[in-house]
Amino acid sequence: MSATFQLYRLQQVDSQIDKAQKRLDEIQRIIENNTELKRAKAYLANCESSHQSTEKTLRQAEAEVKKQHVKIEQTEAMLYGGTIKNPKEIQDLQNKSESLKRYLSSLQDVQLEAMLAHEEESETLQSAQSALDALKAKLIQQNSQLAGEQGVLDQEKERLLKERSIAQPAVPEELLTKYDQLRKQKNGVAISSILDGSCSACGAMLTQSHQQKARSTLVYCPSCKRMIYAS
């Protein structure tokens, strides 16, 4: 068996390892760093804070209305209690009562506005929570599928590494050095085969004599400069 054949075999194994590793890295990234989930959590936290804020505003408005009711009751109790006889004082109390009632009405408007704002915020919060729950459920399912795929790929990688440990020692040392260099420079592919008279890696046409030569000695693709394996 020629040295380039051994090298080509090693390349095939390495390409499969690269492919498995690329997908494994991708899976790891998906599981660890889900931007969609981060965004949904941040949005929910935002909604919670707005919800708390509208709730506080509403409670304050309610307290103001209650306080105003008490003031009105007290004023009217004095007014109709029968203890105050002086017409001037009665008139003053009547004026005060009317003024308190007018202010009550504007406080009630504020309360109503606060209530509507809080209701709206509650709905937004609820839909944010539902969206997050749905996303989490989706991710649990997705992650279990990914974990399954991860397991299969790990096994596959282990098998390929064993295969590699058999293929590598068959390659002469100086070829292996070249191979490693080219792998780094050429996107993982150091040696290509001939496909319909062309370099299988870059597609460049190879002359008949070049192809002939590749069968007996080490040649390089004139275009991409990868080593050529001729079967």
- Is residue 230 involved in binding Zn ion (CB under 5 A)? no
Per CB under 5 A, the list member of 168, 202, 213, 220 interacting with Zn ion is: 202
Give pairs for 110-116: CB < 8 Å, separation 24+. Answer: 110/61, 110/64, 111/58, 111/61, 111/62, 111/64, 111/65, 114/54, 114/57, 114/58, 114/60, 114/61, 115/58, 115/61
Task: Give whichever of 125 and 219 is closer to Zn ion, judged by the CB atom.
Answer: 219
Q: Shortest gap between Cβ of 153 and Zn ion (angstroms)?
A: 29
φ, ψ (nearest 5 deg) of residue 193? -100, 180
Rg of the chain on CA atoms, in Å: 40
Site for Zn ion in 142-201 (CB under 5 A): 199, 201
Q: How far is the CB of 206 from Zn ion (least distance, A)?
A: 8
- Min dist. Cβ of residue 231 to Zn ion (A): 16
Identify which range of 6-14, 42-50, 99-107, 216-224 contacts Zn ion by CB under 5 A. 216-224
Compute the least distance from the CB of residue 177 to Zn ion, in Å: 20
Q: Which of 34, 50, 143, 223 touches Zn ion by CB under 5 A?
A: 223
User: Any residues with CB less than 8 A from the CB of 149 and at least 6 apart, and which?
Assistant: 23, 27
**Total number of residues that touch Zn ion (CB under 5 A):** 7
- Residues within the interface to Zn ion (CB under 5 A): 199, 201-202, 204, 221, 223-224
